[in-house]
A = this chain, B = another copy of it.
Amino acid sequence: MKITGIELRRIAMPLRAPFRTSFGVETTRDVLLVRVVTPEAEGWGECVAMSEPRYCSEYVDGAADVLRRFLIPALPAGRADAHAVKRAFAPFKGHKMAKAALETAVLDAQLRTAGESFGGYLGAARDRVPCGVSVGIMDSIPELLDTVGGFLDEGYVRIKLKIEPGWDVAPVRAVRERFGDDLLLQVDANAAYTLADARQLAKLDAFDLLLIEQPLADDDMVQHAALAKLLKTPVCLDESIESAEDAAAAITLGAASIINIKPGRVGGYLEAKAIHDVCVAHGVPVWCGGMLETGLGRAANVALAALPGFTLPGDTSGSRRYFATDVTAPFELADGHLAVPAGPGLGVEPVADILDDVTTSTEWIEL
């Protein structure tokens, strides 16, 4: 498979609800799409970087720069496949989201050429996956309860509440009381706490949570291991895990008993699969996180979430969780599940008109 050219396409996806950032309120999700062109097929990859380096060090414009400047020039000259691409990127440190976008696009082209689906390639064991939803920090408990209720009405089978100091025990208690003990409920701290907050976090033990996600800073597994000993709620790591080595280290240290796998965060689907395999070998459950992906990124995540080790519902929400109109045929919940695409590659295609409408720039790099 010879890559003849690559398109970097920026799109601005209007969000159904505004998204608060440090620069103010954003009403669109700025996304970088990578399209790999070969004589046999095209492949798509979606870069999950946000517009600012707040979740991790990557951001959309930076990822585009790294792709243009280092990763695309480093692509194997001859026959490219995802494994070869991954190896070619190894000398460059970090920039996992940029790498993942390009590697995924290559893998998509490769699988479309072979007529194989992402799910088939990765070893998906199911044809649909149960879906959870992530609920942001709200201005009030009543607003939160309304929102959660709405998601449950849509069929979501698991609720994740974002928490931060000042918004933790009270919202969790309110949701548990309103929606009962059978609700699958978990919380995500996005590294907003310190080990000094262990006492406060231990108060969450009373609410039978599935897990607490990334309570402490992303670069400190030793402190997470210390915290895990102080909590009954299982500790799940997200930002801390950027590779299979990180997963192995976290398990060895007891820093995590559950891992959230986001392929973009770990450099692509090959590494995501390796992390899955490491976790399964250790009996550590995994689930698939989300980064406000469009249908292109969502398709691959849903395929990944169908692997046997994904024993917890993921943040693989339907398209309308974030977008009124998706760039692909929308992913829609049926009985709280999303169907795993079965067609070649991602199994979804961008709808040309819709894609053009949201495109803010394109850049063609001839190889």
Contacts and interface: CB of A to CB of B under 8 A. Distances in A.
Interface of A: 22, 52-57, 59, 61-62, 65-66, 69-70, 74, 81, 83, 87, 91-95, 114-116, 120, 123-125, 194-197, 199, 210, 216-223, 226, 234, 242-249, 252-253, 270, 273-275, 277-278, 280-285, 308-309, 311-312
B311 A83 contact: no
This chain: copies in complex: 4
A216 B69 CA distance: 27
A61 B53 contact: no
Given A69-B61, A274-B281, A120 B81 contact: yes
Contact of A245 (B59, B94, B217): B217
Closest 6 CB pairs of A and B: A57-B94, A195-B283, A196-B285, A248-B281, A244-B281, A222-B249
A275 B244 CA distance: 12
A41 to B, nearest CB: 14
Contacts of A55: 93
Nearest to A310: B196
Nearest to A277: B274
Nearest to A120: B81
A74 B234 CA distance: 36
Given A93-B218, A125-B87, A195 B284 contact: yes
Contact of A243 (B87, B219, B221): B219
Given A62-B66, A196-B284, A223-B245, 5 more contacts: A22-B74, A53-B94, A123-B270, A223-B249, A223-B283
A50 to B, nearest CB: 11
Given A70-B53, A114-B116, A282-B252, A245 B219 contact: yes
B53 A244 contact: no
Contact of A83 (B123, B218, B222, B274): B123
Contacts of A218: 93
25 contacts: A53-B66, A53-B92, A53-B93, A53-B94, A56-B94, A57-B92, A61-B65, A83-B124, A93-B218, A114-B114, A123-B270, A194-B285, A195-B284, A196-B284, A196-B311, A217-B245, A220-B246, A222-B249, A223-B249, A223-B282, A274-B277, A277-B277, A277-B278, A278-B278, A278-B281
